[in-house]
Amino acid sequence: MDKRFNPLTAAEQVQVRRALAAELAADPAMPIPAVIRTIRNALRLTIAEYARLCAVSPRTLQDIEREVSSPTLVTAEKLLRPMGMAPGAVARPRSRVPPRGTIAGT
């Protein structure tokens, strides 16, 4: 646990995890690096601690969080596993396309 914070009780940990799950469910299109950073910060773990927990190198985790590199599917699975999540696809909302023959849709 990050030394900047006091340890949480078991009840507080459950409350934090539920709030985190609700936050992530509210925005299913959140990019994976943002999801990973949100999870790690909510769990109050340093990059080194979260990397050890997920069995990835700290440098890999740091690069993914900073969006310097993209995670492989296997790495994304490892990084999302502590919250019981898995990577997936979410359909983007369709943009309104103007009908053909109009000025914008010519």
Whether 2 is in a domain gets the answer: no
Whether 38 is in a domain gets the answer: yes
> How many folded domains does the chain comprise?
1
Whether 4 is in a domain gets the answer: no
Mean per-residue pLDDT for 17-39?
90
Whether 22 is in a domain gets the answer: yes
Q: Which domain holds residue 74?
A: 10-83
* Better-predicted residue by pLDDT, 104 or 96: 96
Write out pLDDT tens, residues 31-84: 999 999 999 999 889 999 999 999 999 999 999 999 999 999 999 999 999 888
Whether 45 is in a domain gets the answer: yes
> What is the distance of C-alpha 20 from the center of its chain?
10
- The whole-model pTM stands at 0.74
Residue 72's domain is classified under what CATH number?
1.10.260.40
Whether 20 is in a domain gets the answer: yes
